[in-house]
Amino acid sequence: MTEHRARRYAALKIHERGSKGTDEVNRKLGMYDQIATVESLHPGRKNVRSILGTFLVLGPNGDHWCLVHEPLWESLESFQRASHPNSAKDVLKGLLSALDYLPHDCNVIHAGKCDPNEFVSKRDIS
């Protein structure tokens, strides 16, 4: 009997090798842990994605930590199919809601350079 599995996609963020990359991963994992412990009814909560896991890639010139996330969209094509005239407005509203939630409810403030997709979830951003 053949086992059928649903496809599941993940997005990987590969970090710089060495202590700088390890320090950055540890800092981000601390933020994700802090976010995960917050119980909140803030509407921005649903727009913040969590981390699915981590792993280490052993490379010829050093090791790289990888963070595993749910992808924002299954593909660019599926995003385009789901798009409607207000999609950019809806995405921006969801992003601003998440950016309000993080400092006010989680005490997480990102003061350095930031990947805008780092914490944003694809889940119902309207």
Claim: this prediction has a pTM higher than 0.85: no
- Please report the pLDDT score of residue 94 as a whole number: 83
Of 103, 114, 100, the residue nearest 34 (C-alpha): 103
The structural domains of the chain, with segments of one domain joined by +, span: 11-105
Fold of 11-105: Phosphorylase Kinase; domain 1 (3.30.200)
- Those residues of the chain that have pLDDT short of 50 are 123-126
Instruction: Note the pLDDT of residue 42.
Output: 94
Give the pLDDT of residue 124.
45
